[in-house]
């Protein structure tokens, strides 16, 4: 008798995700030798989740909105078994409709460690202030330190058509103007689902990186949208990605930029900064997609689960970085 004749489709799906998840953990331990050798006391670990995009609606093309909730449940259960300093989701925790928050946030809140949010372009079915309150965010962009590392979170919906701004607000008007300019130049990222980082936030980013450098901290920057064309499909680039690249590259503290938004994911290194675009959970209904990042003195080790590949990235002086293949 066939297995699918005994189990209902939902049970088969759960078994499939379990088997793939166990296989992914085993592969990550093989790809990242330190992962199976006991945790180094000098290691700082955290979880990364990208583009859950939950909504109670049928799948469209590669996006499995409803199934993403089960993926997040499995992810949370796994991360809670690990010794993590924090977990961060890098935007688009929902796809649409305010009631989606009521289903997905209670699952995310089950994480036993501190947890952080990055704002994504799909996260604004409500005005900006209401979304920030839903997510428990005091500010749309912020930074925190842990064990000699500075973690900097950007708001790519600062200048955006879908950032919870009123149509008559300065930020919304700037977004309309910027999009028109990009369209006139024929640039691939001249699309309404992207956004930009405004002047005040750029000044804050530069000042935060200077402070990290003065304190001898290394910095990892999180944003929803990619900023390096080689690490993504260029259609999904932040509108003013080059300006942000220049700020990061001018700092000797920044060693990595982590983002989502471009669901297939990607990786590239430039000027000593590792750019990692994490694969979207919404497009991984069976194998899932998330990662654990281990920070050592000279290594960033990404232990991917499911669709996220494992990587070992060397931290070295600018222009002398030696990333490994996934």
Structurally, at CATH architecture level, domain 3-314 sits in: 4-Layer Sandwich (3.60)
Which residues share a beta bridge with 277?
259, 266
pTM, to two decimals: 0.87
How far apart, in whole angstroms, are the C-alpha atoms of residue 195 and residue 192? 8
Residue 39's pLDDT is 59
How far apart, in whole angstroms, are the C-alpha atoms of residue 202 and residue 244? 7
How far apart, in whole angstroms, are the C-alpha atoms of residue 1 and residue 6? 8
Confidence grade of residue 316 (pLDDT, cut at 50, 70, 90)? confident
How far apart, in whole angstroms, are the C-alpha atoms of residue 87 and residue 79? 8
Residue 11's pLDDT is 46
Taking all residues of the chain, what is their mean pLDDT, rounded to a whole number? 90
Q: Which ranges in the chain belong to alpha helices (H)?
A: 3-6, 9-31, 68-79, 99-108, 128-135, 170-185, 199-214, 241-249
Q: Tell me the per-residue pLDDT of 201-232, one tens digit each, with 9 for 90 and over.
A: 999 999 999 999 999 999 999 999 999 999 99
Length of the chain: 326
Asked whether 288 and 16 are in contact (CB, 8 A), the reply is no
Residue 280 has pLDDT above 80, yes or no: yes
Which residues share a beta bridge with 94?
54
Q: What residue ranges do the domains of the chain occupy?
A: 3-314
Residue 323's pLDDT is 42
Q: Tell me the per-residue pLDDT of 137-167, one tens digit each, with 9 for 90 and over.
A: 999 999 999 999 999 999 999 999 999 999 9
DSSP string for residues in 43-73: -EEEEEE----B-SS--BTTB-TTTHHHHHH
Residue 24's pLDDT is 47
Q: Tell me the per-residue pLDDT of 92-113, one tens digit each, with 9 for 90 and over.
A: 999 999 999 999 999 999 999 9
Alpha-carbon distance values, 280 to 16, 43, 57, 191, 308 (Å): 19, 26, 17, 19, 9
Phi-psi region of 318 (alpha: psi -120 to 50; beta: other; left: phi over 0): beta
Residue 297's pLDDT is 86
């Amino acid at each position: 008798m066939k297995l699918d004749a005994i189990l209902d489709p939902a049970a088969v799906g759960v078994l499939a995700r379990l088997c793939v998840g166990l296989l992914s953990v085993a592969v990550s331990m093989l790809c990242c030798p330190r992962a199976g050798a006991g945790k180094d006391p000098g290691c700082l670990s955290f979880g990364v989740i990208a583009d859950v995009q939950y909504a109670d609606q049928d799948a469209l093309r590669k996006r499995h909105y409803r199934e993403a909730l089960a993926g997040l449940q499995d992810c949370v259960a796994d991360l809670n078994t690990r010794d993590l300093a924090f977990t961060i989701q890098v935007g688009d925790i929902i796809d649409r409709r305010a009631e989606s928050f009521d289903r997905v946030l209670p699952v995310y809140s089950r994480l036993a460690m501190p947890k952080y949010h990055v704002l994504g372009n799909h996260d604004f079915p409500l005005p900006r202030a209401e979304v920030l309150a839903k997510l428990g965010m005091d500010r749309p962009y912020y930074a925190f330190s842990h064990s000699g590392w500075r973690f900097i979170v950007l708001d790519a919906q600062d200048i955006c058509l879908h950032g919870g701004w009123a149509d008559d607000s300065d930020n919304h008007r700037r977004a309309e103007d910027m999009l028109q300019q990009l369209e006139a130049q024929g640039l691939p990222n001249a699309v309404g689902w992207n956004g930009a980082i405004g002047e005040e936030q750029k000044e804050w980013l530069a000042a935060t990186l200077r402070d990290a450098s003065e304190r001898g901290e290394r910095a990892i920057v999180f944003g929803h949208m990619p900023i390096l064309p080689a690490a993504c499909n260029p259609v999904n680039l932040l509108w003013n990605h080059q300006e942000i690249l220049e700020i990061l590259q001018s700092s000797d503290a920044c060693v990595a930029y982590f983002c989502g938004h471009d669901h297939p994911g990607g990786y590239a290194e430039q000027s000593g900064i590792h750019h990692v675009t994490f694969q979207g959970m919404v497009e991984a209904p069976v194998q899932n997609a998330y990662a654990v990042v281990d920070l050592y003195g000279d290594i960033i080790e990404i232990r991917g689960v499911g669709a996220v590949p494992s990587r070992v990235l060397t931290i070295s002086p600018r222009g002398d970085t030696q990333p490994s293949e996934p």
